[in-house]
Amino acid sequence: MLIYLRVLKESLAFAINALRNNMLRTMLSLLGVTIGIFSIIGVLAAVDSLKAEIKGSLSSLDNSTMIVMRFSFGPSEIPQWKREQFPDVTYDEYQFIRRDVPNVEAASFQLNVGAETVKHLDKIVTGVNIMPVSEGYYNIEALQLTEGRFFNESEANSASPVVVLGDEIAEGLFGNIDPIGKEIRLYGQRFTVIGVLEKEGSSFFGPSKDSAIILPVNVVRRIYGSNKNAAFPSIVIKPASNIDLAEFKAVLTQRLRQFRGLKPAEIDDFFINQLQGFADFIDNITGTMSTIGGFIGLFSLLVGGFGIANIMFVSVKERTNLIGIQKALGAKNRFILLQFLFESIILAILGGLIGLFLVWIITLAASQFTGDFEFILSATNIFYGMSSSILIGLIAGIVPAVMASRLDPVEAIRTGM
């Protein structure tokens, strides 16, 4: 056992010395592997970061949450011209769902309206995202408030002039002053602040709630009236826990069809979008991106492997005389083989470490410049990258190493002379 350890140690020492004596060639050999590992880990890190950002944006919503609207989240077999004729969901349908559809834990009628300017005394904040919702939104989104409360059912139904502010809006209008009970002007009316949301950070899907104001949906319904083109409505439903979601969706579809008076031969003129399906759709996209990026990086790494193999063949050719002398002095074939194999693997590992270091530096810099978006360099991706690097080094070096170990000592010395 000690003999084998000594052989490994001496082989490693020879390999390191050979790399040190040919620094320029070593650096050029590293370049190909560095680019390959940089490509693989960089793509995987970017995809993982994107996936984490998307899941973070959806984390406040249960995957069982369903959104009823005239549009579909994903591809649809229904022609576009027919989809464009679908009617918007209505407030009456929202009330019908709450009243007549079983196993609904919470529901919210929501409108998508344009940004507005908000005032408090001499403070003005422009481009504020307005979120008109019903009271069920609080339970669906599992909102967290740092101050005050959310509006209740009575306030929502009566269109009370109350608002809940996002963290950035509260800071912009009131600074360090407690905003609860204060008044703001919106839509030319006075609204009383009853709550402030906990800071959320950036959101992948549209503006963050930090820059939003939430108010009862009936307030905005009265302002816009029957102007459906100005406010895009949707009904968000959170089913009760521990129920069959497919059965719930089927019942919801049937009840909505009955409410709209659709005949059996007519298609559904609405879409029930489930967040679980959307999350699966996102996973499929990011998985495809990872696969494509991995193949691109693998090809780059193979190019680096060919570079290492080429250098190793040159190295064997240059050191033929030395190999002959070593074998004449009693060096075993395995010593020669390990010497060149270690040299190849060390090249691959060094290239991988440099590529990994570059990705780490770029992720740190990118995270600083993109604010709340965080780039992730996971241990799994590092393991995949370094394993690929070692494997490429082993494959690239095995043929030159075997060729060197099989040289006849007399012929090797004569060739070197």
**pLDDT class of 5 with cuts at 50, 70, 90:** low
Spatial CB neighbours of 404, under 8 Å, sequence gap ≥ 6: 316, 319, 323, 336, 337, 339, 340
**Residue-wise pLDDT tens digits, 295-333:** 776 777 777 777 778 777 877 777 777 777 777 777 777
Structure tokens at 351: 């290239």
Interhelix angle 333-369/23-58, nearest 10 degrees: 50
Three-state DSSP state, 184: strand
Give percent above pLDDT 70 in the chain. 80
Give residue 107's pLDDT: 92
Three-state DSSP state, 214: strand
Q: Closest by alpha carbon to 165, among 115, 135, 121, 199?
A: 199
Half-sphere exposure of 336 (CA within 13 A, CB side): 29
Spatial CB neighbours of 71, under 8 Å, sequence gap ≥ 6: 83, 271
What whole-number distance in Å separates Cα of residue 142 and Cα of residue 218? Answer: 21
**pLDDT class of 61 with cuts at 50, 70, 90:** low
Q: Closest by alpha carbon to 116, among 108, 126, 103, 124?
A: 126
Give the Å distances, CA to CA, from 372 to 134, 201, 214, 367: 29, 6, 22, 7
Q: Closest by alpha carbon to 352, among 37, 40, 45?
A: 37
Structure tokens at 280: 């699966």
**Residue-wise pLDDT tens digits, 63-100:** 778 899 988 877 778 888 888 888 889 999 999 999 99
Q: Is the pLDDT of residue 247 over 60?
A: yes
Total-model pTM:
0.63
Beta strand spans in 263-368 (E)? 271-274
Exposed e or buried b for every residue in 381-409, given b needs 16+ CB within 10 A?
bbebbbebbeebbeebbbebbebbbebeb
**Residue-wise pLDDT tens digits, 141-199:** 888 899 999 999 999 999 999 999 999 999 989 888 899 999 999 988 999 999 999 88
